[in-house]
Chains A and B, each alone.
Chain A
């Protein structure tokens, strides 16, 4: 490859996988007990954490340059605006 490459060790990948599986166990565990409204919040927070780990490490985003990071940011903000504006309508109808 022309650019310098970032090799992520098998060990680091395995540790991330263990964390992901542990977070899965955690989200299953806490949604089995009755948390009321916090159920959705906690489950989605853990899902975002897991997604962050997959993007940063498995997808090598933490080693990418500024362009890809900004594009990811723009895509996520677009999605957030989408969802935010829809609920602005749905909630106050």
Chain B
């Protein structure tokens, strides 16, 4: 009996893109807050921005770009039915994500060690604009970091599906959508990086 379950690839991808647009608007709102407060507190934002380590930010940018490269290569590999390579590339993405989160961890713990975290005693003594800067910094990089963790989980699940044989050259929309989600994480960081680490 040849019974094929109904699959709607175009619909699956359309749904993913619609979801990504809502994500874009979520982070768009955070960037909007940043822009309005930067306009109101330019001096305090500059003071806060100088305390972020741009070298670590640059390292994380390159790491995320590389992770995106691996994710895109994983899609190419699955299209060519090179399944071992597909899993290897997904592994590369996950490794990069681990590196990103490790650097993020060092950055955050250094800041928290200096008493810089939302509601800290230290931030009560600095001008309000600087406190707003760090609140936005934690909020934006925090939600972004959460997306990194979700993306990694998603991709690890897809890799397991590749291994079990349910994702292959004939049916790979799951990997395509997982990669799309991962690229969004990279896309958001492309804007976080200059705004928080470079221009202030």
Give A residues with C-beta under 8 Å from B.
1-3, 5, 7-10, 13-14, 16-17, 20-21, 24, 27-28, 31, 39-40, 43-44, 46-47, 50-51, 54-55, 57-60, 67-68, 71-72, 75-76, 78-79, 82-83, 86-87, 90-91
Contacts and interface: CB of A to CB of B under 8 A. Distances in A.
Interface residues of B, number: 48
Contacts of A90: 36, 39
B194 A75 contact: no
A1 B9 CA distance: 8
29 contacts: A1-B170, A3-B10, A8-B75, A13-B72, A16-B69, A24-B62, A24-B65, A31-B194, A43-B195, A43-B198, A43-B199, A46-B194, A47-B193, A47-B194, A51-B187, A51-B190, A54-B183, A57-B72, A58-B71, A58-B179, A68-B17, A71-B21, A72-B17, A72-B21, A75-B25, A79-B24, A79-B25, A86-B35, A90-B39
B190 A82 contact: no
Q: Is the interface of B mostly helix, strand, loop or mixed?
A: helix
Interface-centre pick from A3, A40, A46, A76 (highest chain B CB count, 10 A): A40
B9 A3 contact: yes
B141 interface: no
Contact of A83 (B9, B35, B62, B69): B35
Contacts of A2: 9
Contacts of B135: none
Given A1-B171, A24-B62, 20 more contacts: A1-B170, A17-B65, A17-B66, A27-B198, A40-B199, A43-B194, A43-B199, A46-B194, A47-B193, A51-B191, A54-B68, A54-B186, A58-B71, A59-B180, A67-B14, A71-B21, A76-B24, A82-B29, A83-B35, A86-B32
Q: Is the interface of A mostly helix, strand, loop or mixed?
A: helix
Contacts of A51: 187, 190-191
Nearest to A5: B79
Closest 9 A/B residue pairs (Cβ) = A43-B194, A75-B21, A31-B198, A17-B69, A58-B72, A79-B28, A7-B79, A59-B183, A20-B65
